[in-house]
Structure 1
Amino acid sequence: MTENSSAEHPKDEEGIPILSEKQDYNDKHALKLQSGLQKLWHNSIFRTAVRNASLILTWYFFSTCISLWNRKLLGKGHGVLGKGPFPAPMLMSSLQFAAQIVMAKFVLYLGVAERKHPDKLSWHQYFLQVVPNGTATGLDIGLSNFSLSLITLSFYTMCKSTTPVFLLFFCFAWGLERPSASLGVVIAIICVGLILLVYGEAEFNLAGFIIVMTASALSGLRWTITQVLLQGSSAHGVGSSGGPVEVLLSLTPVMSVTVAIMSMAFERLWVVIPGSPYFDSLQSLGVTALIMLCGGTIAFFMVWTEFAVIASTSALTFMIAGTFKELVTVLAAVLFLGEHLTYVNCIGLVVLVLGVALFNYTKYRKVIMGQVVSARAPTDHEKGGARAERHEAHDGERAFLVGGRRMNLGSPRASPRAGKPPSLSADLELITQRPSAQHNGLTSGPGSTLALGKSQSSS
């Protein structure tokens, strides 16, 4: 036994170095991976991209929920609790806006959302900035909900996907975007997709189509103004009006009143309400109030995340992400509401998405070439000399498709391959090598962004 044991010890001793070397290799590999992940996480662009992607996915969830909820409540052959469709879509929108006012005040009171603009707007600022946006938003949402009572959710969603076209026109008018031949081609492709969608719609309703396209135009207007409210515009000398919840609180009273006036003018409430099962008793009134509160709650979180996306990126980024979100909504309409798509519908949808993808690529090329116009109004801190220099140094880590500062990741000034055409691989390599803003003593404000979709090439 002793001889056998002594004979086995050398073998064990020979195996120990091998195991130690393997363990050392694994430890070094794990440390290297951990160091790489920490370095990536400390990169301000990566953190901003993760934050923006999370915001966009959250917005996808709430937006799809509110679309399904409103279609279920308003659509022909639908309704909740066996009461049939709600008889007044615009009244429903007005009540949902009123619920959002209460929720916004509650969130600010609890400190869940911090006030970024404690000073109240003057009446001149209110009527110049808030009233036009609130009116356009109210008309957009009110008409959108009204159209859901006439057309299917899938057709409505595909029509609303044309909003970037109207958004571009308003951006041209505001000086936030420059017209170009490439954008003209993109707009033409999106319009062709829309024509195919209309041609292939089996249950086409002309009134519903006109209403939803009017809502799309108003949507482009309201999101352009919303970006100016959230980010400011140096081209017009307009500063930011506060955070997402503050802007929501400013807009919802105007939105509620606007849609309420439309409801009284067009929905004949004195006729439809008395005979509706939603209002035929006190118990029905209580149930209806809960239904409105439920929809208002979903809408509040949806709009909150909408504004948060725009505040961190831009209105066009929001619309680009929104167009891909429409695919999710169309799929949800087919799965949960039993709606059907024709082959022409599908072809039109593919053409529409192709147009938006080309637009995304065009904007990405402009961003990496440093051709995006800077439209963000400077803050008081940025007006100081030293502070302005630090922001200029940090300018390369900000990217806005409309407004904001330029991201020069692919420009000759920043690229390791100076003088050569920019490429995605070089940009990604530069991103991983770029030191974090915190290590340079810089801060990353709400405008610092690399929006979802922009690194790869804003309803």
Structure 2
Amino acid sequence: MVNKLVFKTYAFEFGTLLTVIHFVCTWLGLMLCARFGAFTPKAVSWRRLMGLCASFCGFVVLTNLSLQYNSVGFYQMAKVLTTPTVAAIQTAFYGKRLSLPVILSLAVICFGVGVASVTDVSMNFIGTVYALAGVLVTSLYQVWVGSEQKALQLSPPQLLYQQAPLAALMLVPLVPVLDPVSKLWSYPLTVGALAVILLSGTLAFLVNWSIFAIIGRTSAITYNVVGHAKLCLILLGGFLLFRDPLDWRNLTGISIALTGIFAYSKINLQQQAKAAAETAARKD
């Protein structure tokens, strides 16, 4: 909702630059947390993090290009494909197989999100290439966030503290390529605009931390489910706060998606309880 204020109300049209600001704010926020003892930074070779940072930058670039070359409907449909792509990567390369009830609940979620958010679907060759490449890179990034935390034995804030400045630096050269820089120098940076941009950066810090925590402590699939729940809240929030149109199709899709999210959560909790009971029985 705050980003919508930044882009629409204050006409800050520089999405890539805003992403750089987000990661700078994330890094500064983590520095502050580390100073007050929330976590202890752990040194990691920057070369080890280049793949993770590059995949994040690729995700940003390809997402922007997908939105530029595709209709909004096709762009949203491509985003929905991230969930099954993450599941396929985890199954093929990490041996994490999903149970049938989980697969069915994810199918319900994706179907509901599609009904709620996908409108006009028009496609072209170059736009399709960007969209599918964006789905693949985004999925790899989400999987790598979890696997790198385990491989490097880092907590979520420790890994994010190392990645944030590198990702910001890698995105800086892309700002003049992806953003209308000619308009940047004449942008009227009012106190209100600056305040909202800084608020967006502060929220990005909290969101980034939560993303790494969710993926690190659960899985990339669960993070996708949370992301779909967020989309439902964005649609409802847009209707309540900005008077965005919300018709029966949107409401039906949101209801279906939330049903799937509830089922996914219940199934996972039951599986966790069963696994804990089996572990306790083996110890006895």
Tell me how far apart the structure 1 counterparts of residues 156 and 16 of structure 2 sit (CA, whole Å).
Answer: 24
- Of structures 1 and 2, the larger Rg is shown by 1
Deviations 1:3-30 (Å, cap 9, x if unpaired)?
xxxxxxxxxxxxxxxxxxxxxxxxxxxx
- The answer on 1:221 being equivalent to 2:151 is no
User: Secondary structure in 1 aligned to 2:277?
Assistant: coil
2:9 alignment counterpart: 79
The CA deviation at 1:70 is: 0.9
User: Secondary structure in 2 aligned to 1:408?
Assistant: helix
Match of 1:272 among 159, 165, 183: 183
Match of 1:339 among 233, 244, 251: 244
Distance 1:216 1:350, change over 3 A: farther
The CA deviation at 1:223 is: 2.4
- The answer on 1:349 being equivalent to 2:269 is no
Question: Percent of aligned positions with the same letter in both sequences?
Answer: 17
Matches within 5 A, 1:3-402: 68-74=1-7, 78-80=8-10, 85-108=11-34, 110-115=35-40, 118=42, 120-122=43-45, 126-128=46-48, 130-140=49-59, 160=79, 163-175=82-94, 177-178=96-97, 182=101, 185-186=104-105, 188-197=107-116, 201=119, 217-230=136-149, 232=150, 238-240=151-153, 242-269=154-181, 271-274=182-185, 276-278=186-188, 284=189, 290-364=195-269, 366-370=271-275
One-letter code aligned to 1:88: F
Tell me how far apart the structure 2 counterparts of residues 157 and 335 of structure 1 sit (CA, whole Å).
Answer: 21
Aligned residues of 1:172 and 1:178 also touching (Cα < 8 A):
yes
The CA deviation at 1:197 is: 4.0
Aligned residues of 1:89 and 1:142 also touching (Cα < 8 A):
no
One-letter code aligned to 2:15: P
Tell me how far apart the structure 2 counterparts of residues 171 and 340 of structure 1 sit (CA, whole Å).
Answer: 37
Higher helix share: 2
The CA deviation at 1:364 is: 4.7
- Equivalent residue pairs, number: 278
User: Secondary structure in 1 aligned to 2:20?
Assistant: helix
The CA deviation at 1:90 is: 1.0
- Greater mean alpha carbon deviation, residues 246-255 or residues 358-367: 358-367
Deviations 1:186-233 (Å, cap 9, x if unpaired)?
55444544553465x2x76869x9778765554432222111233x1x
Aligned residues of 1:190 and 1:356 also touching (Cα < 8 A):
yes
Tell me how far apart the structure 1 counterparts of residues 9 and 226 of structure 2 sit (CA, whole Å).
Answer: 30
One-letter code aligned to 1:229: E
Distance 1:141 1:337, change over 3 A: farther
Distance 1:197 1:286, change over 3 A: closer
Tell me how far apart the structure 2 counterparts of residues 341 and 155 of structure 1 sit (CA, whole Å).
Answer: 19
Tell me how far apart the structure 2 counterparts of residues 158 and 337 of structure 1 sit (CA, whole Å).
Answer: 23
Coordinate RMSD, CA, aligned: 4.0
User: Secondary structure in 1 aligned to 2:9?
Assistant: coil
Which of structures 1 and 2 has the larger relative contact order (alpha carbons within 8 angstroms, sep 6+)? 2
One-letter code aligned to 1:73: V
Tell me how far apart the structure 1 counterparts of residues 56 and 147 of structure 2 sit (CA, whole Å).
Answer: 14
User: Secondary structure in 1 aligned to 2:253?
Assistant: helix
Normalised TM-score (structure 2): 0.75
Deviations 1:229-269 (Å, cap 9, x if unpaired)?
33x1xxxxx241x2332212211123213433332223242
Aligned residues of 1:163 and 1:220 also touching (Cα < 8 A):
yes
- The answer on 1:408 being equivalent to 2:277 is yes
Unaligned runs of 5+ residues in structure 2 are none
One-letter code aligned to 1:334: F
Tell me how far apart the structure 2 counterparts of residues 267 and 181 of structure 1 sit (CA, whole Å).
Answer: 44
Distance 1:113 1:195, change over 3 A: closer
Tell me how far apart the structure 2 counterparts of residues 307 and 330 of structure 1 sit (CA, whole Å).
Answer: 24
Distance 1:337 1:289, change over 3 A: closer
The CA deviation at 1:313 is: 3.5
Distance 1:102 1:169, change over 3 A: same
One-letter code aligned to 2:156: P
Aligned residues of 1:133 and 1:226 also touching (Cα < 8 A):
yes
